[in-house]
């Protein structure tokens, strides 16, 4: 697949074919162009998820403090709906880099898809408090938060 036929997802950061309307990992429809794609991102875009998972697992073995690799493993686990692994890897990523919003975004989306509305809202709030005002991910996180809030009673 030609590099030019790939774009980077604006929410999870993984690559996807430019002609696909939604991200295969997080379901996001927002994407950014331009930046170089890494080997594991290209593997995901080619549906070689096992190879990408092995790549990141190896990265974590070599450097357990690699929060980006932990986060990538969490997103891949989310893509195959392995929620236990999502929580393990997202929490590990958070532990390595507590000020980063990314793991909170992923946990919010995962908890929302499991119908755990209150917990997902807490994660989205934690993400929003860590995202800069101009961050393009704010809109997607806010939309997820509104959707989760809609499942709760008025008085909550």
Residues that bind Zn ion (CB under 5 A): 9, 11-12, 23, 25-26, 28
Minimum CB–partner distance for residue 41 and Zn ion (Å):
11
In the complex with Zn ion, which residue's Cβ is closer, 21 or 153? 21
Angle at 42 between CA 37 and CA 43, to 5 degrees: 150
In the complex with Zn ion, which residue's Cβ is closer, 105 or 148? 105
In the complex with Zn ion, which residue's Cβ is closer, 28 or 40? 28
Minimum CB–partner distance for residue 5 and Zn ion (Å):
17
Q: Is the dihedral of CA 19, 22, 26, 28 positive or negative?
A: positive
In the complex with Zn ion, which residue's Cβ is closer, 55 or 78? 78
Minimum CB–partner distance for residue 111 and Zn ion (Å):
17
In terms of C-beta density within 10 A (0-12 exposed, 13-18 middle, 19 or more buried), how is residue 76 classed? buried
Minimum CB–partner distance for residue 110 and Zn ion (Å):
13
**N- to C-terminal Cα separation, the chain:** 48
79/149 Cα distance (integer angstroms): 23
Do 138 and 125 contact (CB within 8 A), yes or no? no
């Amino acid at each position: 697949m030609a590099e030019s036929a790939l774009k980077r997802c604006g929410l999870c950061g993984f690559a996807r074919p430019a002609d696909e309307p939604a991200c295969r990992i997080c379901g996001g429809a927002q994407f950014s162009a331009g930046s170089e794609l890494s080997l594991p991102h290209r593997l995901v875009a080619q549906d070689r998820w096992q190879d990408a998972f092995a790549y990141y697992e190896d990265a974590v073995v070599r450097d357990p403090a690699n929060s980006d690799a932990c986060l990538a493993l969490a997103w891949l686990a989310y893509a195959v709906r392995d929620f236990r692994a999502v929580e393990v890897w997202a929490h590990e990523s958070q532990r390595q880099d507590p000020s980063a919003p990314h793991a909170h975004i992923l946990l919010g989306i995962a908890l929302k898809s499991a119908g755990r509305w209150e917990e997902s809202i807490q994660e989205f709030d934690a993400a929003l408090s860590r995202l800069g005002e101009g961050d393009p991910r704010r809109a997607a996180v806010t939309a997820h938060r509104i959707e989760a809030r809609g499942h709760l009673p008025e008085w909550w």
